A = this chain, B = another copy of it.
Amino acid sequence: MPPDGSTKTPRTGRRPGESSTRESILEAARRQFAERGYVGATMRSIAKEAGVDAALVVHFFGTKANLLSEAVEWPFDPDVEMPKLLAGGKRHVGERIVALVVRTWDQEGARDPILTLVRAATIEPKAAEMLGDFLRKRLFAPLMERLDSDQPELRTTLAASQLVGLGLARHVLRVEPLASAKPAAVVDWYAPTLQRYLAGKLG
């Protein structure tokens, strides 16, 4: 899942045509995970849509959890967004991270893979691990390092628990008035929480 959305460089030794078959499977997987969810999409149904044998999907990707991890394209690139989160100074990091998350979740195309992952994470430990790894390693670890706050792992967890809860409430449970609120209002409501979790006094 390279951030620019390019296809992966095939490993050496791969036969010609292999990488395009692989890519067809990934495309079918992305569509099916988004439409049917992690449980509804099966290795067999994905193979069928890609026009290949199910055994080939297993050969390339092993397990469904691994196929999910290869298929998900993160909707933003942490290396690009990270400097922006801190561009306003430490005092504005809470506001900035809520704005980033609301902007990302509010775009339907960007929201689908995250929703697929969050849904999968509630039932499949490997998907939960994968979601946790991305959030920790790619997003929060570099952020916490630059913020230089104490208890970085705890802060990561607290922040993630609120951001995932916000996404669920706004886009899955769709509770009002949150579901229809303007992004700027959502940022106002949640920014103080994230500011405290990331850089404030924890209690």
Contact = CB atoms under 8 A, between A and B. Distances in A.
Interface of A: 37, 39-40, 118-119, 121-123, 128, 131-132, 136, 153-154, 156-158, 160-166, 168-170, 172-178, 185, 188-193, 196, 202-203
A173 to B, nearest CB: 5
Contacts of A154: 177-178, 189
B132 A123 contact: no
Nearest to A155: B189
**How many monomers of this chain does the complex have?**
2
Contacts of A172: 121-122, 128
Contacts of A162: 161-162, 165, 193
Contacts of A166: 161, 165
Contact of A122 (B119, B178, B185): B119
Which secondary structure characterizes the binding site on chain A?
helix
A196 B192 contact: yes
A158 B189 contact: yes
B178 A158 contact: yes
Contacts of A169: 157, 160-161, 164
29 contacts: A37-B39, A39-B40, A119-B123, A121-B172, A121-B173, A122-B122, A122-B172, A128-B172, A131-B173, A132-B173, A156-B175, A157-B169, A158-B178, A158-B190, A160-B175, A161-B165, A161-B169, A161-B170, A162-B162, A162-B165, A162-B193, A163-B165, A164-B168, A164-B169, A164-B173, A188-B202, A189-B202, A189-B203, A193-B193
